[in-house]
Amino acid sequence: MPATDTSPFRPRDINTAIALLTRLPVRADFSRGARAAWAYGLAGAVLALLAALPTAAALWVGLPPVLAAVIWLTGMVVMSGAMHEDGLADTADGFWGGWEPARRLEIMKDSRIGAYGVIALCLSLAARWGAITLLLEADVWLFGMLAVAMLSRSAMVLVMSALPHARANGLSHAQGRAPRGGAITGFALAAVVAFGCAGIPGIAMTGVAFVMAALCSATAKVKIGGQTGDVLGATQQVTEIALLFTLVAAAQFSWPL
């Protein structure tokens, strides 16, 4: 199809989403740009299912959950090329290292990492590792973490649709602005999967994901007047952490997962 294809959905959008958000070797056509963003959640599902294989194998051979959680995290980071972690670090440096939008954007574009970025990465990895360990110990991890992977990436699309681009270049700008209908559809699809995977806690997770997307949007609007690829990556990270904590709380209260 030509670059002017304005169809709301195409099956090949799934390949495009996987190619954009992962390092997996898939053939993709990037002419659809942000119109393929509705499938970001499906790309997250693919990552989660692949990461589950070595994690389940590790548990099967007797590795404790505390180590199996490291395997899960390593798989997700490697397969995604640490894209979202990089966005979190750059966003933390820029948002809290600059006093005005132009300076914040300049800091975010700098390839060097600062103190805020290091701290954000350490806290993110520690939070996710701890939560995943608890979920593995409770043996309620697989379907819940599949829902987390989908919802956290669908939250990115909500931000992508809600805010204009903060700069006139970069990965997010190159893809364009996600159509509102596609963003809502992608998030709704992730919500349905979350309910199917986690039941009642899945409804709570959907609400948490929406709130985190709204908070990230509001913060980005105040700090830099819009969104960038780094902001989207940071959105995925903080949403994932909040969703993992929600799952842990559900497991602690013995809610059916």
pLDDT tens per residue across all 257 residues of the chain: 444 567 777 888 899 999 999 999 998 878 777 888 999 999 999 999 999 999 999 999 999 999 999 999 999 999 999 999 999 999 999 999 888 999 999 999 988 999 999 999 999 999 999 999 999 998 878 899 999 999 999 999 999 999 999 877 756 656 667 889 989 999 999 999 999 988 889 999 999 999 999 999 999 999 999 999 999 999 999 999 999 999 999 887 755 55
- 167's CB contacts (< 8 A; 6+ apart) are 105, 173, 226, 228
CA distance 21 to 207: 24
For residue 41 the two structure tokens come to 């959640």
Residue 151 near residue 194 (C-beta atoms within 8 A)? yes
CA distance 211 to 245: 14
Tell me what pLDDT residue 170 has: 58
CA-nearest of 148, 169, 146 to 226 is: 169
Q: Which residue's entry shows tokens 């669908």?
A: 154
Q: What is the DSSP-derived secondary structure letter of residue 30?
A: G
pTM here is: 0.92
Residue 107 near residue 95 (C-beta atoms within 8 A)? no
Residue 254's region, left for phi above 0, alpha for psi from -120 to 50, else beta, is left
Tell me what pLDDT residue 12 has: 87
Tell me what pLDDT residue 136 has: 94
